[in-house]
Amino acid sequence: MCGIFACYRHPDVQTFKPTALKMGKAVRHRGPDWSGNWIANDTILVHERLSIVGVDSGAQPLVNEEGTISLAVNGEIYNHRILRKTLKKTYNFKTHSDCEVIIPLYLEHDIDTPRHLDGMFSWVLHDKTQDRVLAARDPIGITTFYMGRSSQTPGAVFFASELKCLHPVCDDIISFPPGHIYDSKTDKLTRYYDPKWLVEPDNIPTAPVNYKELRETLEKSVRKRLMAEVPYGVLLSGGLDSSLVASIAQRETLRLNEQAKQRARGANGHEHDGDLVGIDDNNELATVQLLPQLNSFSIGLPNAPDAVAAKKVADFLGTRHHTFTFTIEEGLDALSDVIYHLETYDVTTIRASTPMFLLSRKIKAMGVKMVLSGEGSDEIFGGYLYFHNAPDKAALHKETIRRVKNLHLADCLRANKSTSAWGVEARVPFLDKQFLEVAMNIDPAEKMITKERIEKYILRKAFDTSDEPDTAPYLPDEILWRQKEQFSDGVGYGWIDALKDTAELRVTDEMMKNPKPEWGDDIPDSKEAYWYRTMFDEHFPAYCAKTVMRWTPTWSNQTDPSGRAIAIHQQKYDDVK
């Protein structure tokens, strides 16, 4: 991840520049490798860079030869090489960065530019000739992005990767909606990502599941996300989603290494190391590098359910596995920092983010900059335990859409900010546009949980090779068919219990009866929620609260969002396939 801050039409941009640089510095944790800024007319772009692709030449903001178009980007464009080849007009690229292609795309496609991008991104582009700004966010909101205005500078518009860059200079801030583009010509946000499944939730799909297509599309999605010139790994909880991502990544690593060896032998009769991994013109991974052994990482309290399962997966796959433990005290000590970086007070997000935050620090210390993660699968396939209570397939389908639409306020926010707090980038293959197109257009009856079908049955079945004698298994059966554990539970049940117990000591009954007036109708419903909200208020003014969404299960009377609080958690599915 990188960090960006931008201000369009500031009344005195030169005087504002030191403040703009200070706001950019507030997200330097996202991009510790380099800093840059660019001023044109009355607009300033500030960029804090994490270098993963185009390491030696991708410093930002990016500017065209004429100095008329400037661009600050946070993200990765996986199809950048294809886009370079398909440009109608010749463009003199100055870098090897995957992001620079956005400039010539803008010159050819204007406001439709983000429709052509395959990746995760937030960007601000300034056209000096038109004195115009375009800002866009990826379809699902994998990268965090905010937009603000100030009553002190009523004509200006501000953009940033995180709230902490904006609240010192803005008094009106929104979470920039995923799949939208802002155009200063109209001063409006317009949806560009508009697949039928998303914009027509009442249109219930009827297509039967194609297991082969489901498997191959996810494999391709993982393959794209191996685009990197730096050490990378996988976050491995031992649950289905992260284990599948790890399995595919390991198979790809082994396959690519074998191809590299064959090419090396063919070239000069002996093996040698190459240069980098990239995407070729057909959107396939190409490499001349012998990749290092794939690293996998897990964290939990001692003997946590996820850590034990993750070790089984790692041993099965042959990854170089690192199991980290944390103590309850270490987790509690980190809470204020976690809330500062996450910029939320949502109970579920904070519970799950704290171990991820601690793990990311360990990963960065090992020199790894990019990790693959399994976010999005539960939303797409109805994998949360409360989906057992879905009344019918139409209700299930609409709930999966609602969950996917809100990912930018929940699991994507967690994955992005927990890792970028330490200069690590998380990539999420399940939220690939092509994979979403396949998975969200399957008849939701296939996703219903029944006595015969465990949650996410069709995803499990797609990677079940028991009837394919020539295909090696992706995962051990005990993992492929393991019951769902929400991450905050799987790191060790004592973690959530400790949070509740500590909140009980910190928040009195009297405090619960007298919430702060500035909270309005957004009243915490538990002492744990109250405690988190007070910590949030220590870092952010009250008006920032409108960017926060609380994660709650549907079809459930439980007030605690933990998966363990759902009664179905006690049931076992060992004999269900």
Q: Specify which residues 62 forms β-bridges with.
A: 71
Could you give the strand order of the β-sheet that contains 295-300, starting from the edge strand earlier in sequence?
320-325, 295-300, 232-235, 370-372, 425-427
CA dihedral 40, 26, 432, 56 (to 10 degrees): 70
Q: Specify which residues 235 forms β-bridges with.
A: 297
What are the two backbone dihedrals, phi and then psi, of residue 285, each rounded to the nearest 5 degrees?
-75, 130
Cα angle value 471/456/76 (rounded, 5°): 80
CA dihedral 567, 240, 427, 260 (to 10 degrees): 180
Taking the C-alpha atoms of residue 498 and residue 328, their distance in angstroms, rounded to an integer, is 7
- The answer to whether the beta carbons of residues 236 and 313 sit under 8 Å apart is yes
On whether 492 is known to bind a ligand per the annotation, the reply is: no
Closest to 377 in 3D by CA, of 497, 288, 486, 451: 486
On whether 235 is known to bind a ligand per the annotation, the reply is: yes
Taking the C-alpha atoms of residue 460 and residue 481, their distance in angstroms, rounded to an integer, is 7
On whether 385 is known to bind a ligand per the annotation, the reply is: no
One-letter amino acid at 1 equals M
Q: Specify which residues 181 forms β-bridges with.
A: 136, 190
DSSP string, 174-206: EEPPTTEEEETTTTEEEE----HHHH-TTS---
99 labelled catalytic: no
Helices (H), 13-131: 13-25, 80-86, 102-109
On whether 202 is known to bind a ligand per the annotation, the reply is: no
On whether 54 is known to bind a ligand per the annotation, the reply is: no
DSSP string, 246-309: HHHHHHHHHHHHHHHHHHHHHHHSS----S-EEE-TTS-EEE-S-PPPPEEEEEESTT-HHHHH
Taking the C-alpha atoms of residue 431 and residue 377, their distance in angstroms, rounded to an integer, is 8
Contacts of 33 (CB under 8 A, 6+ apart): 49, 50, 51, 423
| Beta-strand pair 153-160/3-8 | antiparallel
- The answer to whether the beta carbons of residues 370 and 226 sit under 8 Å apart is no
One-letter amino acid at 466 equals S
Closest to 289 in 3D by CA, of 257, 252, 262, 250: 257
Indicate the annotated binding residues for ATP.
235, 299, 373-374
Q: Where is the binding site, in residues? A: 98, 235, 299, 373-374
Catalytic residues: 2
